[in-house]
Amino acid sequence: MKKIMNTPETFVYDMCHGLAKAHPELEFVEKFKIVKKKEINPNKVSLISGGGSGHEPAHAGFVGKGMLDCAVCGDVFASPSQVQVRNAIKEVATDKGVLLIIKNYSGDCMNFNNAMADAIDDDGIKVDAVYVNDDIAVKDSLYTVGRRGVAGTVLVHKCAGAAAEQGKDLAEVKRIANKVIENVRSFGFAFTSCTVPAAGHPTFEIGDDEMEFGVGIHGEPGRFREKIDYSDGKFADNLSRRIVSDLESDLGVKKGDEVVLLINGFGGSPLQELYILNNSVSKCLEEDGIAIHRTIVGNFMTSIDMAGASITVLKVDEELKKLVDYPVNTPALTWGGAMNEEAEAALEAIRAIGKALGFTPAEKAEAPKAAAKKEEAKEEEAAVYEVEGKPEVGETINTAAFVQIVDKMADIIIENEVPFCEADQMGDGDFGMSIAKGFKQLKADWATRKKGDIGQFLQSCSEIIKEYCGGASGPIWGSAFKYAGKAMAGKKEVNLADIACLFQEANRGVFETGKRSFGKGAVVGDKTLVDALKPCADALTAAAEAGKKLQEGLFDGAKAAHEGAEATKTHVATLGRAGTVGERSIGFPDAGAHGLDVIFNELAAFIAKM
Catalytic residue numbers read 55, 218
Phi, psi of 119 (to 5 degrees): -65, -35
HSE-CB for 480 with a 13 A CA cutoff: 19
76 contact partners, CB below 8 Å, separation of at least 6? 11, 12, 52, 53, 54, 196, 197, 198, 304
CA distances (Å), 483 to each of 383, 400, 463, 486, 545, in order?
20, 20, 12, 5, 22
Nearest to 472 by CA among 529, 523, 527, 426: 529
Name the amino acid, one letter, at 188: G
77 contact partners, CB below 8 Å, separation of at least 6? 52, 53, 54, 196, 218
Helix or strand or coil: residue 400? Answer: helix
Q: At what angle do helices 271-287 and 235-251 cross, to 10 degrees?
A: 60
H/E stretch holding 295:
strand 291-298
Query: Can you tell me the distance from the alpha carbon of 129 to that of 599, in angstroms, rounded to the nearest whole number?
Result: 36
603 near 561, Cβ under 8 Å? no
The string over 549-574, giving b where at least 16 C-beta atoms fall within 10 Å of a residue's C-beta and e elsewhere, is ebbebbbbbbbbbbebbebbeebebb
Q: Which residues pair with 103 in a beta bridge?
A: 132
575 near 518, Cβ under 8 Å? yes
HSE-CB for 288 with a 13 A CA cutoff: 22
217 near 139, Cβ under 8 Å? no
Phi, psi of 53 (to 5 degrees): -75, 170
Query: Can you tell me the distance from the alpha carbon of 333 to that of 67, in angstroms, rounded to the nearest whole number?
Result: 9
